[in-house]
Structure 1
Amino acid sequence: MSRIAFYAPLKSPDHPVPSGEREVARNLLKALARDGHQVERVSEFRSLDKQGDPARQAVLITQAEAEVHRLVAKAPWQAWVTYHSYYKAPDLLGPAVCDALGIPYLTIEATRAAKRLSGPWAMFEERAAAACDRADVLFHFTARDADGLRPFLRRGQRLVHLAPFLGQVALPDIAAPCDPPIILLAGMMRPGDKLASYDIAARTLAKLPDGPWRAEIAGDGPMKDEVAAMFAPLSRKVAFLGQLDSDGMAAAYRRARAFFWPGVNEAFGMVYLEAQAAGVPVVAENREGVRDVVAPGGLVPAQAEEALAAELHHLLNDTTYHARRAKEARTRIAAHHLIGAARDTLWGTLAPMIPEAE
């Protein structure tokens, strides 16, 4: 059977801090493991430069060269798969190893950012773009990523859609949601886009009619005090759950009538998939990335808190509408976003490239 090298330059599947990034990496490992084929996490080398420091980038490139020599000596693999190479954490290993070994190079969620070719990340964007150029296959999760890659495709290079997916073969059992109804929110409490989503969420909930509904918020992070202040006017309605593990999130989905997360600049968001799989209709803003994983009925134009509140109110108070949305969500996830579909896509592309896999 074949041996597949797997590498994640941004965050290892074994990273101690939970995140959607880590979850996707772990799910990819499971999807690639098929019929006895060995998938190896080949390196813990992390190429991340958060600040845009050319000196740090130069050091990382030098360190990567030594890691490439180690990996080439350790081979053989029949193919190499890299998850999430981009300008802050490019794949500095895969292209060189694949050139040395003469094996296929495949990327998942690799992106290009031409505007970064000038500025503090220029050196790393050159490497991220070179990885995209070298790839035999570029798997993309979202339409936005595909649009960024398509103009640069060379002859013979393949761009393949891999729908974001959960690492399970079947939908979870569902339970009757709580009464009074609960709106569930979940997101890391950190500056930037996550905090912007919390701000929109707080302003939206403030516009809901005063009924028996409650909200539960799962998440933690350096901005938790700021998030708490945003929801202070709703303190009698809102419960903060802190950071939950997978079992805790599953229990929260079972209690919830609706899942609400605006999704400011989300890549796609695993929580959207988890909620819909559990039969919890999603309410979110109609943004790139989000629309790749959320059924259209729950998408509302961006920066329209009144419309978001109206959709939440509809879900909380119309049981027929809620049941229809819940069924549509589970049907969508079962058809497109479980590990079986992902495995078919990955191996349908990979197997013909590896004689040992056929």
Structure 2
Amino acid sequence: MTVAFYAPLKSPNHPVPSGDRAMAAALMAALVHADVSVHLASELRLLDKHGDRAKQDALALEAQVEVARLVACPEAKNWQAWVTYHNYYKAPDLIGPAVSQALGIPYLQVESTRARKRLVGPWAAFAAAAEAASDAAHTILYFTHRDAETLRRDAPAGQSLVHLPPFLSREELPQQSPLNGKMLSVGMMRHGDKLASYQLIADTLAVLPSGLDWSLAIVGDGPARARVEQMMAPEQDRVSFLGARPPEALAGIYAQSSLFFWPGVNEAFGVVYLEAQAAGLPVVAQDRPGVRDVVHGQHPRPHEGPDAMAHTIVNLLSDPPLRQKMGAEARAMVGAHHLLVPAARTLAAALAEVRT
């Protein structure tokens, strides 16, 4: 089978690393693993971060040009289905539904978000387009149970909804950490939710017991780095900044760490949680929608604040057998549900369904 693939938020070839880019690349790899020939149909980015109607109109015009190009391109005659990754109100799929209709092929989505409240306000046009694209999908594969709630609520008659657990683009688990190194945090340093997670990390470190032996390595970079460094200044002797690291280097850092500490403020789910747990690291996070779909164990709720996360850290650092147990269980969870093979199996079944 041959499918066209498109990611309106961020192409898998985008130069800036992120969870979205990683997930787009992982989906393409899983499709290939399912014996599907994948063609990256377009790299047009349809993102409006700020609710700029003029920008939305300009992107819509670019999308129309792209639709005409794709319908006429020689490769299109071989496409048997179209798969779009991450359709939502800031980056709606303005291309896939039109091309699929013109070619008479099934249209599928992976990770689509319904947001009725955005149908008024600065993103109204894009939100309506995202809703229309979701309505056009024969099948939507969802990552988290939070997304499933609104997808079920607003699904048109006959639409198929399929759970596809978030996954890593690898067939086997990586090297396992002996869990005797530093704590580790991994996150882009930008304003908004990422910076809120870093603030929670700083607040948690501030309430750790004075006699506890701990150190923390932070992987990440971005426009808010100076602010993050300022947050961590009171603990500068115990916190090290490693900057942005490529995936191959990050794998080695996971394998030398003792636990993974990332609160996860408004994370969709967080690929870094899967990467850390694949290496056998227990996780300290907050119990938030999305995060709970990929993180093993019980975690503090946001209203419990830094003290509850500090309590979890103390328990894990003070009890090596507990740390080993939680890490082993997390690693087993990733191995069973969040690697390439089970994802490829789910995608293959969804594509087989649209061919019947």
Superposition TM-score tier, normalisation by shorter sequence: over 0.9
Is 1:265 the counterpart of 2:260? The answer is no
Is 1:231 the counterpart of 2:212? The answer is no
Structure 1 counterpart of 2:88? 86
1:194-273 to 2 correspondences below 5 Å: 194-210=194-210, 211-273=212-274
What percent of counterpart residues are identical? 52
Deviations 1:192-251 (A, max 9, x none): 111110001111011112332111011101111111111111011110111111122112
Structure 2 counterpart of 1:95? 97
**3-state DSSP of counterpart to 1:257:** strand
Question: Post-superposition shift, 1:269?
Answer: 0.4
For 2:89 and 2:194, the matched residues in 1 are separated by: 21
1:276-315 to 2 correspondences below 5 Å: 276-297=277-298, 299-303=299-303, 304-315=305-316
Q: Which amino acid aligns with 2:45?
A: R
Runs of 4 or more consecutive aligned structure 1 residues displaced over 6 Å after TM superposition: none
Unaligned runs of 5+ in 1: none
The number of residues matched between the two structures is 351
C-alpha contact (below 8 Å) 2:177/2:254 kept by paired residues: no
C-alpha contact (below 8 Å) 1:286/1:301 kept by paired residues: yes
Structure 2 counterpart of 1:160? 162
For 1:319 and 1:48, the matched residues in 2 are separated by: 45
Q: Which amino acid aligns with 1:69?
A: A
Q: Which stretch shifts more, 213-222 or 53-62?
A: 53-62
Unaligned runs of 5+ in 2: none
For 2:258 and 2:326, the matched residues in 1 are separated by: 11
TM-score after normalising by structure 2: 0.96
Q: Which amino acid aligns with 2:208?
A: L
Question: Post-superposition shift, 1:36?
Answer: 4.4
**3-state DSSP of counterpart to 1:194:** helix
Q: 1:195 and 1:67, CA in 2 relative to 1: closer, same or farther beyond 3 A?
A: same
C-alpha contact (below 8 Å) 1:268/1:292 kept by paired residues: yes
TM-score after normalising by structure 1: 0.96
For 1:37 and 1:228, the matched residues in 2 are separated by: 45
For 1:253 and 1:63, the matched residues in 2 are separated by: 41
**3-state DSSP of counterpart to 1:43:** coil
Structure 2 counterpart of 1:109? 111
C-alpha contact (below 8 Å) 1:4/1:80 kept by paired residues: yes
Deviations 1:151-178 (A, max 9, x none): 1112210111110000011111213233
Q: Which stretch shifts more, 83-92 or 67-76?
A: 67-76
Q: Which stretch shifts more, 150-159 or 130-139?
A: 150-159
**3-state DSSP of counterpart to 1:147:** helix
**3-state DSSP of counterpart to 2:302:** coil
C-alpha contact (below 8 Å) 2:177/2:258 kept by paired residues: no
Q: Which stretch shifts more, 71-80 or 275-284?
A: 71-80
For 1:174 and 1:126, the matched residues in 2 are separated by: 46
Structure 1 counterpart of 2:23? 24
For 1:250 and 1:62, the matched residues in 2 are separated by: 42
Is 1:169 the counterpart of 2:171? The answer is yes
Structure 2 counterpart of 1:324? 325
Question: Post-superposition shift, 1:189?
Answer: 0.7
Instruction: Give 1:151's match in structure 2, choosing from 134, 153, 156.
Output: 153
Structure 2 counterpart of 1:66? 65
For 1:247 and 1:261, the matched residues in 2 are separated by: 20
